[in-house]
Every structure is written in structure tokens, then in C-alpha cells.
Amino acid sequence: MNSSFQPRPWSDTEVDGPLAAPLSPVRASGSRIVSMAALIAGDVAAVALVVELVQLLVTGSETTSNAIRLLVFACAVQIVIKAALGAYPGFGLYHEARLRKGASAWLGACLVAIAAALFLSVGGVMPLVTLCFSLPAVIALQAVVTLIVRRLLSTLGIWGVPVRLAGNPAIVQEVESFLRSHPEMGLRLAEEAYAARCLLWADRALPDPATLASLRRRHDEIILVSDLPRLRVSGVHPTEHGGQIGLRLSPVHDGPAQAVIKRSFDLVLSVPAMLVAAPILLIAALLIRVADPGPAFFVQPREGQGGRRIGVFKLRTMYRDAEKMLAEVLAKDEDARAEWEEHFKLRKDPRILPVIGKFLRATSLDELPQLLNIVRGEMSFVGPRPFPEYHLLAMSPEFRAHRASVVPGLTGLWQISERSTADIAGQQQLDDYYIAGRSFWGDLSIFLRTFAAVIGGKGAY
């Protein structure tokens, strides 16, 4: 970000009244979903109309059929790419940004369609010629239908998300005027402050860190307004970040699609992993019983998503009277007690079973039974580790609730970064970083890097 954005003190009562007042939990997701569905339906309708015209104008049944299949395929690819680029519904995008996303989608669709036609040899060049003449008609018709859909949604009061403004009063007034004259941007001013979960910060300086943190807790999304066509705000031009009206700050929400993808990923990997892990678990269980007769597996109650208690499965790596041994060590050894209070682990832990216990903990194989927790939906492959109660008591209630907002994981950012070497503050920083920016690709990266962390053995004891 440009250096012209500098933090400055800011009062809660500035511009819109006290931000300490509770805001309504109603979100703008409904408007987004309805608008997205309507725009996609409009694009599909435009394609359907052109397909009907092609059937009427192009003679030859086989040629017509191939041309229509190619056209439908190209348009389907175009719609998927537009959705992936965030063009539906495109709230907060300038016209040029929407144009760029639309052109990129059509370019990708045409390239894929041409490649498919050449690879499949769909009846010579005639289908390609038909495609070249049909696509401009689809593009023009989609543009007209999009305008109609927006006008209709705007008339119904559905188009756009309600926003509130804060920051410098003079700049706020300019931004308000801009939004009123550009309703196509999909950012409509909320009549009541409590009706908006999106805040536009219009100022030449950022709020100070404490105020920014407070704003993020009270809003689903914050947009730090960039320069407008007739107003230099921050020195940051919209083209520097994708043509949006500003830089967006928004918490990560596990919507239905993200939840389905994450759960599918867990099931696809955990079921075969359990089959591979079965002989390893059997051998480890036998060695544990040799080292210290008794159950090889145990279930430890820990905190799951929403604060719900879950039973976490583990291979036993300690003597059966481990709790008594720990109490004796902490009572006699001040250094051990200080280490325990900082890390909740001991580098030289007398409770660990010789050889097999140390090996299982160093390789994290003692966590393999938690594949069953993943299959049951109590855990995921990636997420904050579910800690025992004594570990959670060292955290603030606010952060504890923050951790409980997501599904706990078999591995996480902490495990691939510092593992046992991180203190409570370090663990909180790593967990907070993960929760704030979690994504499928981030989870996949952590999952793959876990193998290197385990093989390297860094921080494991």
C-alpha cells in the first residue's frame, strides 16, 4: 500500500455516531446471492436466445448441432470464468474492471472452445465460423440483459449491498455523492447505520490500529477507499488492486461451498489414509504394550468447533501414571515448572515411554488415530490444534472463542512453523494468522508442508 496511507487517531463518535452501539447481525449475503443468481440467469437466457436464432438461420442438421454444442460449451466456460473472477455480482467494481473481467472470460472461453473443436474435429470449419458470428451476438445480448437485470434489481431494492461511510467528513461527502451518481457499483448508502455491515473508510489516513481492529469486529467488510475520478484520497489508484473502489478488509467466512470443499478434501484423504495407517498403528500398539503394559490407545477430551467437547484419539506415548509423575516433577523442579507454564511441554519429559514413545512423538505418528476424528467430522486435516483444557485456560476467553469458530485440525500453521518451540503468545499469533486468512489453497499448502516438518523433526519432542 502507498505510504500516503498513515494511521491517525479517530473518535468513535466521528461521522456516523458511536460505533460502540451494537450493529444488526443481518448480512448482505442475501443481496449478493440474489444478484449473482439473477445476472447468471440473464447471461444464460442470452445464450439460449442466440442458440434459437442459430437453429433457425443455419441449415444442415449435423453442422447446426455441432455449432450449437460448441457455442453452448464456450458460453458455459465463459460464465464459469466470470464467476471465478468475481464478476458476479461485481459490487464495488469500476466499469473498466468489469469490462476487463468479462473480456478475460470470453478470451478464455474462445481459446478453450477452439482447442476443443480442433481436437475433436467437430465437422470441419463451419462450426467455428458459426461460433465466430454467434459470439458477438451473445456478447451484445448479455450486455443488454445485464443492464435490464440491474435496473430491475435496483427497482426492487435488491441490487447492491448497504454501506456506511466513516472517515474525514469532507471526503465522506464526496464519496457519498459519487456512490449516489454511480448506482451500478452496487454500493448503496444504508438509511440506518445498523443496517450496514460494510464500512467505507474515506480518509487520507488509515485509522489507528486499535480503531481498525474495532471496526473489523463490527463489520463484515471494510473498504479503504482509493482515489476516485474527481477526488484524490489516498494516492492509490484503483487499477493497482483490480479496479475495485478500494482495498477490501473482510473476515473469512466458511460458506456452504467452502465447507463442502473442505469436508470433501478431508474424506477423500482420510479414508484411504486410515487403510494405510492400520498396520502402522497395530505395530505401534504392540510396542507400546511391551514398553508399559496397558491400553495402547486413549481418548482425551478436548475443545472442538463451537466449544463442543470432542474425544480426540491418540496412541499412548506416556506411562500410565503420567499425571502423578508430572505433578512430582513440577513440584520439585522450578525450571521444569517455568518451561511447562510457557510451553505446556517439557523438553526432558520423564513421562515419555523409552524409545517407542519418543519415536512416536518425534514423528507425530501418535496423532494418526485422529484420522477417525476427521472421518467423524470432529476434526479436519488442517486447522488449529485442539488443545487440552489446561492449555486453553492460559488463553483469553476472547481468543479461545476465536479458535473455537473453526474446525480443529490434525496439523496446522503452528505445526509446520515452530511446533513445540512456540510459547503461548507465539501459538496465538500463528493460530490467529491462519484463522483470519484460511483458504483451500492455504490448507493444501500447510498439508503438504507438514510432511517436510515431520521428516525434519524441527521443534518436536
Ramachandran sector of residue 412 (left: φ over 0; alpha: ψ -120 to 50; beta: rest): beta
27: DSSP letter: -
How many angstroms separate the CA atoms of 337 and 346, rounded? 9
How many angstroms separate the CA atoms of 181 and 278, rounded? 65
Of 10, 394, 426, residue with least CA distance to 210: 10
pLDDT digits (tens, 9 = 90+) for 146-181: 999 999 999 998 898 899 999 999 999 999 999 998
Q: pLDDT at residue 305 above 50?
A: yes
Say what the pLDDT of residue 141 is: 94
pLDDT digits (tens, 9 = 90+) for 341-386: 676 777 777 788 888 888 988 888 889 999 999 999 999 999 998 8
Secondary structure class of 215 (helix, strand, coil): helix
Say what the pLDDT of residue 18 is: 35
Of 332, 351, 330, 350, residue with least CA distance to 341: 330
- What residues contact residue 68 under an 8 Å CB cut-off, 6+ apart? 51, 54, 55
Higher-pLDDT residue of 337 and 376 is: 376
Question: How many helices (H) and strands (E) are present in the chain, helices listed first?
Answer: 16, 11
Rg value, the chain, Cα: 29
* pLDDT mean over 425-446: 83
- What residues contact residue 113 under an 8 Å CB cut-off, 6+ apart? 70, 73, 74, 77, 131
Say what the pLDDT of residue 456 is: 67
* pLDDT mean over 137-151: 93
Per-residue b/e over 148-177, b at no fewer than 16 CB within 10 Å? ebbeebbeeeebbbbbbbbbbeebbebbee
Q: pLDDT at residue 10 above 70?
A: no
How many angstroms separate the CA atoms of 241 and 235, rounded? 13
Q: Where are the domains of the chain?
A: 6-25+160-249, 29-155, 256-317+352-456
Residue 313: pLDDT band (50, 70, 90) is very high
Q: pLDDT at residue 19 above 50?
A: no
Residue 319: pLDDT band (50, 70, 90) is confident
Question: Among 66-75, 329-338, 353-362, whose mean pLDDT is lowest?
Answer: 329-338
AA identity, residue 49: L
Rounded mean pLDDT of the chain? 82
**Cα–Cα distance list, 90 to 82, 154, 164, 459 (Å):** 10, 14, 18, 45
pTM over 0.85: no
Say what the pLDDT of residue 213 is: 81
Q: pLDDT at residue 5 above 90?
A: no
State the DSSP string of 389-427. HHHHTTS-HHHHHHHTTS--EEE-HHHHHTGGG--HHHH
Whether the Cβ atoms of residue 261 and residue 382 lie closer than 8 Å to each other: no
Residue 63: pLDDT band (50, 70, 90) is low
AA identity, residue 178: F
AA identity, residue 25: P
How many angstroms separate the CA atoms of 209 and 240, rounded? 23
How many angstroms separate the CA atoms of 105 and 28, rounded? 26
